[in-house]
Amino acid sequence: MVFWMTRQRLWMIAGLGNPGETYAITRHNAGFWVVDDLADAYDILLNKRKFDSVFGRGSIEGVETVLVKPMAFMNRSGPPVRRIFDYFKISSGEMVVVHDDIDLALGRLKIKEKGGDGGHKGLRSIIETFGGGDFPRLRIGIGRGAVETGVVDYVLGTFTPEEKKVLDRVLDRARDAVKTLICSGITEAMNRFNDRRVNAIS
């Protein structure tokens, strides 16, 4: 007698950032912050080091999930993410990339089912490595800052105290957005979390 077993879905959440203390609290590391927040909320230990990544496996509301932080610098994020993807045999469409986005105002999130890199070098590296952008991504708005501030200086700068108040609330919503996406589907997640803005706490 032959028994057919359905493979349990396994999601991978890859947060993008730059490794090291120098970059730990910069705007460009918003993806790392979301992964750390998910790990804390769902007791997933990020204690594995392999393939130039830090990662951990656990459960988010009953859904098996691998949380990943690639430890290559941002513009080389693709190869480490691909190695973890292949190692765990993740299915297409069940990888979510979380990254900062200067084209979204601080306080906004946006979920996209697929697309291009929008000028984000970490996302570009992943798209080049995977041969396309057919994977969901969660964009964390960080705004563009003052006109006189260059893009590199801005994204590698730190949040002001007022911005940090907004970010703390955004991280809560980002955690809920990831949970909704993997548990209820991307359409439900987009309907709930796109085009809404969190205001600063006075």
What whole-number distance in Å separates Cα of residue 91 and Cα of residue 93? 6
Q: Give me 108's structure tokens.
A: 């906004």
Q: Is 120 a catalytic residue?
A: no
What's at 89, amino acid-wise?
Answer: K
In terms of Cβ atoms closer than 10 Å to its own Cβ (0-12, 13-18, 19+), residue 33 is: buried
In terms of Cβ atoms closer than 10 Å to its own Cβ (0-12, 13-18, 19+), residue 152 is: exposed
What whole-number distance in Å separates Cα of residue 15 and Cα of residue 172? 15
Coil, strand, or helix at residue 162? helix
Name the catalytic one among 27, 28, 110, 139: 28
189 contacts 180 by C-beta, under 8 angstroms: yes
- Point out the residues that are catalytic: 28
